[in-house]
Amino acid sequence: MNKSWIFVVLTSISELVWIYGFNVATTWWHWAIIVPIIIVDFWFLAKACENLPTGTVYAIFAAAGTVGTALMDVYLFDGTLTTEKIIFIAVIVVGVILLNIADTIAERKERV
């Protein structure tokens, strides 16, 4: 596995951590924890973009954040999971998968 993909996973996870922090922060010291997490998150994002297509990395980052936040809202903050939300989450996931497939095809064409 390419080391850059590990950074994609780390940036996606840390994004969810600081988004969760936004929802529960009530004092200055909560923010003192959240801000460094945001900085580290963007460092992971930059490292991932060094060896992977930036569009793909950002699409995964944004999709993981969007899907993760929607699910976090449902399971941690008593939000509702409607049929519409499920459909649109599926559209996001399918879009990221297709973007990865398109990048793989483009890379193969470049090698030939």
Out of 32-36, 52-56, 93-97, 104-108, which region has the weakest mean confidence (pLDDT)? 104-108
> What three-state secondary structure class fits 106?
helix
AA letter at 16: L
AA letter at 91: V
User: What is the reported pLDDT for 110?
Assistant: 79
With a CB cutoff of 8 Å and minimum separation 6, the contacts of 103 are 53, 55, 56
User: What is the reported pLDDT for 1?
Assistant: 53
Residues 65, 68, 74, 77: is their CA dihedral positive or negative? negative
**pLDDT tens per residue, range 1-37:** 588 899 999 999 999 999 999 988 999 999 999 999 9
**pLDDT tens per residue, range 43-76:** 999 999 999 888 888 888 888 888 899 999 999 9
